[in-house]
A and B are shown apart, each in its own frame.
Chain A
Amino acid sequence: MTDSAVASTERSVQVKLVLLGEAAVGKSSVVLRFVSDEFQANKEPTIGAAFLTQKCRLDDHVLRYEIWDTAGQERFHSLAPMYYRNAQAAVVVYDITKAASLQKAKSWVKELQRQANPKIVIALAGNKVDLVQPSTSSPDANASSEDDGEADDATATPGETPSPEGEPETPRQVPREEAQAYATEAGLLFFETSAKTGENIVELFTEIAKKIPVEEILSKATSNRSGAAGSRAGGARQDNVNLEDNGAKSKDACNC
């Protein structure tokens, strides 16, 4: 398909990436924005986990994300290890308008640092930045005010209407500085994002891509080629598969 031409000449690296975070912080929306450059208000809650792929082109190689978008609901918490097992990257998402979601994010980070692949690249994403005063880096200052009154907070939780009529902002509950300080201390990449406007979404995945130890994965993949069942260390592999619709539709998302 469209991929085979690209893949045959370039080195392609598979990277397993998992999204974690409290329910309704916008994990699926972040992925949808990254993979299809779309936004859907009032998305259904994820059950179990969704699998999507997207490519990211770096200077001398193509990185292909295998993205596991997990369910935030508590009853699915115990399933998370099978998604972050062997993952080379994780995005832990919280909602900047909900302080409790950062606490949950911190506990995910702790769990990853304790139990996941020790070299996993973790990024912390404070999502729904469109709901508060646009941050200085936002190219689209009108995003939140234009959408006043709409209940589309990029989440799945019914009954959470963050922008009440006539009130321009939902109060931010997590100061940017606080989250940044935590991320620095814990050794995480950090972005404030908006799945709705697209702010910082591509940047998030691109920065992760830059931190992935590509050479290491490539050499591991070659030596492990005939390795044990099931443990497919992401490697330069065939690319002539028909990607899921999402993958085939959009071109490389990263451009750096």
Chain B
Amino acid sequence: MKSNDNLKLDEADAIEVDIGDYRNNQDDLYISHHVPTSSRLTSPISSSSDLSPSPSPWYGGTPPVPSYLDSLRASGKASATSLSQLSSPSSSSHALVRTGNGSKLSLVSNTLPPPPLPRSVQPAPKRKLEIEGLVIDPSVLEKLRRWILGIAVVEFDIDHGPVVEGIFPPLFLLPAESENIAFSAFPDSLQFDQGSQVHSFRIREQISSSLSVEELKRPPTKDGFIYGFSHFTQKKDASVRRGYRQHSIVILTQYQYPAFYTYLVSIFGPLYDTHGLPMLESACHNIATWRGPSPGQTMELGFLGTVLYLEIPNTIDEQQLTETSSFKEKYDPRLHILASSPPLIPPPISLFQSCLAQLWSIWECIVLCEPILIIGSSPAQTSQAVWWFRDLLRPLPLAGDIRPYFTMQDGDHALLVNKLPPKAGVILGVTNPFFEKSCSHWPHILSFGRNSEKTDHSIMGKASPSRGTTKSSNSGRGWKTKTHKRHISKDRVLLKQLEAACKGNEQTRLNASVALRGHFCSRTRDFLAPLSRYLHTLIPSPAEVTSAGASGNLRMKPFNSKHFIASLKANGSTLPFRSLKQRTDFYERWLRTPTFGLWLGQQEQIVHVVLEESIRRL
């Protein structure tokens, strides 16, 4: 990592923290403290030394400045075993602490040493009981579950960190899942003084597939993951010890429909903040009145006083294009929702300002299943970006593990972030600076800069930007790749338009974002064209079908890479490759990705069904 690391671990076992991002924000909150007790969190993450720096996630909550820190404020570096202080003298409210055996590095505010987090925290505040007291008719529940698993209320507990206070309707979760939801629902770095924000996450179901639905007591997921759409709010509240209240409302669902659920929670979150439990109840009953999601259909849904127009894709790998959408009127993401598209408000192009010219490289990496780390200043940024890239892959199936917002507390942390090369196709969205270190060996990193701009990512929300100007690690922004060289040509005309649009108003940036999405979607289709063309030659001809007759041994012929490359050379490609060699190289690489295997399997399945059909008709 470069010198702009926000968190560095010195070889000599001394600790130094560059809190450049924060030094001007004396009044801002950070973040309480949490030291995970789970061993998975101290497992082989990071560096070659034995130190496993496991900085705490930084949760909001105002740190009252402990007076004992004042006396410690002057010196420069921390000793390895005692309280150190922030390297900036102007910082008043944080301390770096090394606890226990010295293997953990944590930022704390007012508790020292920090209390360990029990595996499953079960405080029973009043609201929890109230949520549990809400009743729901089984028939309403069944209808509701066609759309969502439940809505979780996550509160920040001063002693325990984020805790799921309740879920309505009641949803059976393992303690590890509940903890994962709680942490994923909260930003782990500071973005604003008061405000709200919407982001999303994807966590693995912990329950083994051997359990039946009855045993699970909850609806099965589609792909082994639970999707969460969180509306986080932070506001001043004198009645809370820290002076701030933080909580998240999370829609939990089995569907990968980011544009839709983001929209839903951005309507619901603020209303819940104002009205509380009656709103929770109303929203759930409201959703239960909808017909179930029907693939390929456009639905008109009334939700809490707003009417939504939602188009559901036929399959999760279908591209939902604005040009072909079922909305007769001109597509407007403020009115029309293409369920599987990324959230388009605020316009995603704003995110990519620092890497516009590299977007073509990034697209290639996505197609080639290259693992990518996305660093943002907020979960809203990272989740929007991860969904954006996942969407550009369509109609190719998703082979890798994507996490719109990934925290250190995630049950898969040790699995996805370790000393080994990252798995193919992984796209992680992170905001905790710790990942810059632990993922420094990753081949591709896209950084939006942390805590840099006052990018307002509060979707339809009001977020007052952090006080103080936060000039920060902007130097690390942009796309950094160690291995990838671009194969196809950029669209320079489009690039010029994008650059101009970035300076425009929101509508201009929105239009440009939609155009950009359309461009890459068509590139993905262009990429697939030669493969589809070759695939057609593998399908038995009608004559072969007839002669094979009832023997029933009709299959698609095996995919032969050499033959495919020959076909590619003979027929060419509409993708503007920079050279013929680059073209061959790109396809050869793709044939080695897990996406290829998955895609081929799907095609074989489709062909198989069609063949069965035609044999039956003989």
Contact = CB atoms under 8 A, between A and B. Distances in A.
A78 B275 contact: yes
Nearest to A245: B291
B305 A237 contact: no
B318 interface: no
B142 to A, nearest CB: 15
Contacts of A47: 281-282, 285
Contacts of B488: none
B329 A238 contact: yes
A116 to B, nearest CB: 12
B306 interface: yes
Given A232-B335, A238-B327, A242-B297, A75 B278 contact: yes
Interface string B157-189: 000000000000000000000000000000000
Interface in B262-302: 267, 271, 275, 278-279, 281-283, 285-286, 289-291, 294, 297-302
A49 interface: yes
A241 interface: yes
Interface in B41-86: none
A89 to B, nearest CB: 14
Contact of B281 (A48, A52, A85, A242): A48
Interface string A218-236: 0000000010011010000
Nearest to B280: A48
B415 interface: no
Contacts of B460: 229-230
B278 A244 contact: no
A230 B334 contact: yes
B309 interface: yes
Contact of A229 (B278, B302, B334): B334
Contacts of B303: 51
A238 B328 contact: yes
Contacts of A49: 282, 286, 304-305
Given A229-B460, A230-B306, A237-B329, A242 B278 contact: no
B172 to A, nearest CB: 23
A71 interface: yes
A188 B285 CA distance: 31
B339 to A, nearest CB: 14
Report, as a range, how many residues of chain B touch the other chain. 35 or more
A53 interface: yes
B326 interface: yes
Nearest to A7: B328
B507 interface: yes
B332 interface: yes
Contacts of B328: 237-240
A53 B298 CA distance: 15
A48 B298 CA distance: 24
A76 interface: yes
B307 interface: yes
Contacts of B304: 48-49, 79, 82
Interface centre among A51, A66, A83, A240 (most CB of B within 10 A): A51
Interface in A208-225: none
Contacts of B267: 230
A71 B329 CA distance: 33
A242 B332 CA distance: 19
Interface of B: 137, 267, 271, 275, 278-279, 281-283, 285-286, 289-291, 294, 297-307, 309, 326-329, 332, 334-335, 345, 460, 507
25 contacts: A47-B285, A48-B281, A48-B282, A48-B283, A48-B304, A49-B305, A50-B289, A50-B302, A51-B289, A51-B301, A52-B302, A75-B278, A76-B278, A78-B278, A79-B279, A79-B282, A82-B304, A229-B345, A230-B267, A230-B460, A237-B328, A238-B327, A241-B299, A241-B300, A241-B309
Interface of A: 44, 46-53, 66, 68, 71, 75-76, 78-79, 82-83, 85, 226, 229-230, 232, 237-245
- Which 5 residue pairs are nearest across A and B when measured between Cβ atoms? A51-B302, A48-B282, A238-B328, A82-B305, A47-B285
